[in-house]
Homo-oligomer: A and B are copies of this chain.
């Protein structure tokens, strides 16, 4: 299988390194970063390309753009892992549409396009007889989409509850364990590299809400957008609130919830019993699906990281190789 890779940040590098390390029968024939591109139909020498990128900041020729690769390279499957734009989804949406239009499978970790155009992109893939998969957009290495699609196949999903933002979970864990204030815990999260200089996107629950949008559209195909999510962040939470919860054998977590029967779509700090499976520590993510046959199923794992995200992308890639390729 020939793969084109758009994006060579932490995730793209993780994918490229794992494809080399593991003998997966995959050849990378096109690569683009934000300023250059490289395509070679017999296959690119990835170690050489990564060394060049490290030395010069460019992976290829500055006159070749990502869109050139998408439109002209010789590949079966596009891995789209360019930086996320949560407002417009561009330029990723354009890349994905161009690839699907060419009858190429697409795998992405990019939350922007999937949260803004999930149904449209899935329909376009179906029309073109190819796969569109996005396991890595929600909860990093946890195979949420595979579980929903196959493991729980035939189940009606009645509700979902998730800890979908590792930064918030780290801050809440530290506030509870060490009695830190929100500001102290945020500072620590920054020092650990878990929080951005501007933490708004995480601590106000926007990131978790975007993931909830992706899950809701995937499960119920209900056209939900970010504006439909009732949202409260953790930035106003006091150490006192956490202490009170702890005194009752509980703690506080930022929970994303979708409960169709209650018309509820919400991201907010919730008091939750300490024995509850969703109470995970540090930067972990967790999800519980409430279903009609399997009842509650909980999944716990790493929500971020270069190789962890590559794991989800490679899972999608191999699934397509093994289950779609012969039909394409």
Q: State the A residues within 8 Å of B (CB).
A: 18, 22, 24, 135, 141-143, 146-147, 150-155, 275, 277, 279-281, 291, 293-302, 305, 307-308, 310-312, 314-315, 317-319, 322-323, 326-327
Name the prevailing secondary structure of the A interface residues: mixed
Partner of A300, one of B24, B277, B311: B277
Which residues from chain B contact A314 at a C-beta distance below 8 Å? Answer: 153-154, 293
Which chain B residues lie closer than 8 Å to A280 at the CB level?
A: 277
Chain B minimum-CB-distance residue to A324: B323
* Alpha-carbon distance A107/B279, docked complex (angstroms): 35
10 contacts between A and B (CB under 8 A): A18-B154, A143-B294, A146-B151, A150-B315, A277-B277, A293-B311, A294-B311, A295-B302, A297-B300, A323-B323
B154 near A311 with CB under 8 A, answer yes
Of all chain B residues, the one with the shortest Cβ separation from A154 is B314
Contacts of A281 in B (CB 8 A): 275
Inter-chain contacts of A279 with B (CB < 8 A): 275
Q: Are A298 and B297 in contact (CB under 8 A)?
A: no
Most buried by B among A293, A318, A327: A293
Of A18, A150, A299, A307, the most chain B CB neighbours within 10 A belong to A150
Contact for A311 among B141, B152, B312, CB less than 8 A: B152
Q: With A146-B147, A277-B280 as given contacts, are A154 and B315 in contact (CB-CB < 8 Å)?
A: yes
**Complex copy number for this chain:** 2
Shortest Cβ gap from A196 to chain B (Å): 22
Contact B299 A297 (CB under 8 A): yes
Q: Which residue of B lies closest to A317 (CB)?
A: B154
Excluding A150-B318, A153-B322, A294-B308, 11 further A-B contacts by CB distance (< 8 Å) are A22-B154, A141-B294, A143-B152, A146-B151, A147-B147, A153-B319, A155-B315, A293-B308, A295-B301, A297-B300, A299-B299
Q: B residues within 8 A CB of A311? A: 152, 154-155, 291, 293-294
A294 to chain B, nearest CB (A): 4
A151 CB contact (under 8 Å) in B147, B153, B295, B310: B147
